[in-house]
Structure 1
Amino acid sequence: MRHPEQQYLDLMAHILENGDRRIDRTGVGTLSVFGAMARFNLGKGEFPVLTTKRVYWKLAVKEMLWFLTGNTNLQPLLKENVRIWSDWPLDKYRKAVDANMSQVEFEKRIVEDDAFAAEWGDLGPVYGKQWRRWAGPDGREYDQIAGLIETLKTNPTSRRMLFHAWNVADIADMALPPCHMVYQFHVTDGRLSCMLYQRSVDLLLGCPFNWAETVALQMMIAQQAGLELGEFVWFGGDVHLYLNHLEQAREQLSRTPRPLPTLKLIRKADSIDSYTIDDFELDGYDPHPPIHADVAV
């Protein structure tokens, strides 16, 4: 039987062989392909956390839990030791105030100084704001997640069960426009499937996080709606490897996938807002060592 992770490795090999060399927003440059797909049967235990390198899955789930709060400030993430959003506000601070401030010092000030965090730690109206507090032209705020769960309970055959973050009016104020932008849901025989469309995909660093956290989200939503798990389906738009990630990609391709672990929720939370990282348990994860690479900002 073909290992589910081979979908990821085949895509990585395809980009290395056929990717279009492009100059991107960051100036680093990429090898890029347009249009990709992967599919995992969660009902059969195919939790898509990579085994050809260690993925720090708890950081990914913590990020998802932060999205669900609707918060857009970096401070709660850093207090949970999640540093994946620091680069963008730090870059803004360096350009505006202190070009020499280290990331460690910046993060320390965000955690310890509420006024500094309020001024420099806010990321603008990013994912959580759009998911939980989308501002309508009528002045009301719309909670897309609550609406989705309600529809799953009352009309699970609907073709309108989705949420997204591409709010055109707010994009200019975001630290980074949404990459994982549209989530659609489908119920068959009491099983919830999720399809994610991701417009821009950093295959080496971003994609493994996005897969892990989306499945965690799918698990929480399914549990709240009283459903079992179906499939996780992923579509990528501009899927790329940064030019400073190519050797790391070749190293990963040299490794053989190991058995996938299983992720489960160990309790049912009262609501979608009540989950914590301690509610998730991963069994059987035995990955190859981490592969380190720099984030392009």
Structure 2
Amino acid sequence: MRELNLDRLRTLLMVADLGSFAAAAKALHLAPPTVTLHVAQLEARLGTRLLHRAPSGVTATSAGSLLIDKARRLLAEADELLQAVQAQIAARGGRVRLGASTGALAHLLPQALQALAAQHPEIDVQVAVMTSVEALARLAAGNLDIGIVALPQPALRGLRVRAWRQDPVLAFVPADWKPPRQVTPAWLAARPLIANDSGTRLSRQTAEWFAAAGERPQARIALNYNDAMKSLVAAGYGAALLPHEAGAPLPDQRISMRPLRPALSRALGIAHRVRLDDGPTELTLQALLEMPAR
């Protein structure tokens, strides 16, 4: 026995409190040899006697008294912990760890989290910014409960990715550039660009959009923060290709939004483990899936 066992500590406390192995066995509904074994295992683990055995009864040694005092507090804390967890389960509360990109955090998740909080205020959703690759890796490792990821994604054992929504990708262009009603790869490639970070799915999508028209422009800067990209567009630094989610506020008046020709869209999915092992995660998924698709 490498570690101290709580059941064995409870046995020791009962023997010391009742002054008898037999009385402790009866109170704990254990066989007398089991009680004797529990105490012997503790003594072997610590390398010292914990109880004095005498015809008049059992008393604690000096080491035994110290262990009993500490164990009493430890067992009380363990009981409080179990009660708190059981109360949380009964209330369907708990903590849910969710990972998403900055774009999803800014304009999509607040709607779902507001609806969830109204119905289940006991659920604590902890949100972290991360890429799709990182979210899937953390889900597989058990360090995340839900991930908002770009689609498509490769199949991963033990994980499920559900299609969630599809939003148009638009050209965000400085208004004084006087962009056409629809922006083409050729028109945009001839102008300064603000690109998405190369580690994102959107970066690969936009590169493919340009390449299909025979264009391979070089961006002035690459970022992974949509609001910062829009600020640079407003300042006239360059144009950017970004998704525009339904319900997202209109950008700065210094920015013109234009549809693309050919059209481009960004698909998002909700990733989670195949086996959902707690109610809060299921309720959070439900709130996300009930959001309007557009």
Same fold flag (TM > 0.5): no
The answer to which structure has the higher helix fraction is: 2
RCO higher in structure (CA 8 A, sep ≥6): 1
TM-score, structure 1 length as denominator? 0.21
Q: Could you say which structure has the larger radius of gyration? A: 2
TM-score, structure 2 length as denominator? 0.21
